[in-house]
């Protein structure tokens, strides 16, 4: 289950002014514009930005590195980079994809340092049945012994299948199925063509279906 990681706001020395209530009323677009103004964002404005978008960073990092016990450090580094570079963001409407790109790039930077595979587990990846996308069926809260055994086996096989996906496939799947980003946004984040994005998603789904076919009612 996804767990929220609390970023230490003391890192940014945040102090809320008396006008913070008005800051909370700003639209996301206006809030980002205000944070972009000046060499560094106003601390109270940035605190509100962090409050609104921290769950997105949590989600991206959780699905990329669910077994990393130090995700909080990576999470905090994401926001440090946002604080330092948000004035370079050209289009506020693309803040969400820009934020995902920072989180994803930091994850792969750290992954290369560790030089090891990580476990990625997501049940939000759809499968194709009769040319239509369907989603994995989740068992009830109180399965019987046989059903529980089959479910554990399925989770183990799913975990192994996802680990076996190339890193670029895993990244694309997370951005598409977990973050629900548009294909165009994923292409911009990963630096590849739109056709490559679609191809990677299709190939990743095909691999998962092939390896898990004994567990799928197709």
- Which CATH entry fits the domain spanning 9-114: 1.10.1740.10, 2.40.50.140, 3.30.1330.30, 1.50.10.100? 1.10.1740.10
Q: Give pLDDT tens digits for 109-148.
A: 887 777 544 444 444 555 544 555 555 454 444 444 444 4
Q: For the chain, give the percent of residues with pLDDT over 70.
A: 67
pLDDT for 10 beyond 70:
no
Q: Where are the alpha helices (DSSP H) in the chain?
A: 20-24, 28-36, 43-64, 71-85, 95-114, 145-163, 167-173, 183-190, 194-211
* Rounded distance between C-alpha atoms, residue 192 and residue 202, angstroms: 15
Amino acid 12: pLDDT: 54
* Rounded distance between C-alpha atoms, residue 165 and residue 183, angstroms: 19
Residues 194-198, mean pLDDT to the nearest whole number: 93
Q: How far apart are the first and last CA of the chain?
A: 27
Between 194 and 165, the higher pLDDT residue: 194
CATH number for the region 127-215 comes to: 1.10.10.10
Closest by CA to 64, choosing from 209, 192, 179, is 179
Q: Six-digit token pair at 205?
A: 């789904």
């Amino acid at each position: 289950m996804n767990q929220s990681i609390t970023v230490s706001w003391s890192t940014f020395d945040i102090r809320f002014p008396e006008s913070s209530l008005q800051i909370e009323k700003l639209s996301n677009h206006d809030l980002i514009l205000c944070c972009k103004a000046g060499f560094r964002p106003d601390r109270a404005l940035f605190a509100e930005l962090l409050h609104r978008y921290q769950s997105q960073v949590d989600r991206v990092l959780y699905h990329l590195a669910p077994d990393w016990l130090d995700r909080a450090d990576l999470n905090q580094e994401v926001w440090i980079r946002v604080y330092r570079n948000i004035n370079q963001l050209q289009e506020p409407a693309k803040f969400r994809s820009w934020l995902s790109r920072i989180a994803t790039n930091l994850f792969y930077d750290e992954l290369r340092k560790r030089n090891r595979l990580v476990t990625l587990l997501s049940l939000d990846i759809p499968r194709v049945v009769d040319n239509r996308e369907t989603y994995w069926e989740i068992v009830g809260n109180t399965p019987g012994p046989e059903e529980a055994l089959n479910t554990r086996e399925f989770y183990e096989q799913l975990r192994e299948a996802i680990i076996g996906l190339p890193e670029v496939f895993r990244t694309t799947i997370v951005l598409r199925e977990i973050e629900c980003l548009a294909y165009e946004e994923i292409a911009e984040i990963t630096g590849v063509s739109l056709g490559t994005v679609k191809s990677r998603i299709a190939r990743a789904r095909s691999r998962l279906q092939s390896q898990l076919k004994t567990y799928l009612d197709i």
